[in-house]
Structure 1
C-alpha cells in the first residue's frame, strides 16, 4: 500500500474560491446584461408594465383611493406622472382603454380602492415580436398573454 504525499493532487481552498468568484462574476454579468434579442426585450418590457399595474392596484387598495397610471403610446411611455418609464427605442405600443380615461392621443388606466380598474388591453411590438398585457376591469389584475 502506497501513501500519497500531501503536496501531490487536488486544489487548494484559495484556488477553489477564485474559481467560484470568477463563475459568480460571469453569472452576475449574464443576469444583469440587457437583453439583446427582440423576444427578451418585449418580454422584459411587458413584465415591467404588468408589475407597474400590479403596484398601482396594490397602492389603490392600501390607500383606499384611486391610483392612475398614465399610458402614452405616442411617446412610448407609461407610469406615474412624476415617474414615467420609457419603452426601448423602436418598440411600439397599441392601447385600448376606457373612453372616460382618454386624454387625446394619451390616456390612463385607473385602479379603484376595491381592486377593480378601468380596464386596458396593451399590445407591445418590437421587431416582429409581440406581447399583450390585459388588465381585467373587474379584478384589476394584469395578465400577460401572447
Structure 2
C-alpha cells in the first residue's frame, strides 16, 4: 500500500545555480593563473621570432653572397630585415636592448647585426625583458650562428 507523500528527491533549481556559480568562480581563478604564463610564452615567442629573422638573414647572405642585416629599432620596439620591407613590432611591454659593434649602431636608437656572404657576421646580443623574465639572443661573429638562452634577471 502506498505511503504518504514521498520526500522529494533531487536538487532544487537554486542549489544547481549555486553549484554552477561556484564552478564558474573556480574556473575564473584557474584562468587567471594560467594567463600569468602568457607573459613567459609571449616573451619566448618574441625571442624565437627575432632568432628566426636572424637565421633567415644569415641564410640569405650565404645564398646571395651579399651582406644582409637585421636592424633593431629600440625606440619603436621593432626590427626589420634589410632585403624586406616589412617591419616586425614587438609587444610594447617587452623591453629590448642591443649590444653590437659600434659601426653597426646608427644615429638615434637603431642598431643592426650584419651577416656576410662567407657565413660570418658582425655578431651581437639582443636581450628581451618582460618583468623578471629575460631572453638573450646571441649571434656568433665568426660563424653567424644564432642561439637563444634564458638569462637571469
TM-score interval, smaller chain: 0.7 to 0.9
> Partner residue of 1:100?
103
* 1:40 match: 41
Task: Tell me the number of residue pairs that the alignment of Structure 1 and Structure 2 aligns.
Answer: 112
TM-score (norm 1): 0.73
* 2:127 aligned to which of 114, 123, 126: 123
Supply the distance in 2 between the matched residues of 1:133 and 1:110 (Cα, whole angstroms): 15
For 1:37, what is the secondary structure of its paired residue? helix
For residue 140 of structure 2, the aligned residue among 136, 143, 146 is: 136
Structure 2: state its 5+ residue gaps. 1-35
Per-residue Cα deviation, 1:14-60 (whole angstroms, up to 9, x for no partner): xxxxxxxxxxxxxxxxxxxxx96111011000000000000000000
Q: How does 1:1-146 map to 2 (within 5 A)?
A: 37-80=38-81, 82-104=85-107, 105-146=109-150
Q: Secondary structure of 2:103's match? A: helix
Deviations 1:54-86 (A, max 9, x none): 000000000010001111111101122511110
Using the TM superposition, give the Cα deviation of residue 89 of structure 1 relative to its aligned residue in structure 2, in angstroms. 2.1
**Partner Cα separation in structure 2 for residue 140 and residue 62 of structure 1:** 14
Contact 2:53/2:81 (CA < 8 Å) preserved in 1?
no
Instruction: Provide the alpha-carbon RMSD of the alignment.
Output: 1.4
State TM-score, norm by structure 2: 0.70
- Structure 1 gap segments, 5+ residues each: 1-34
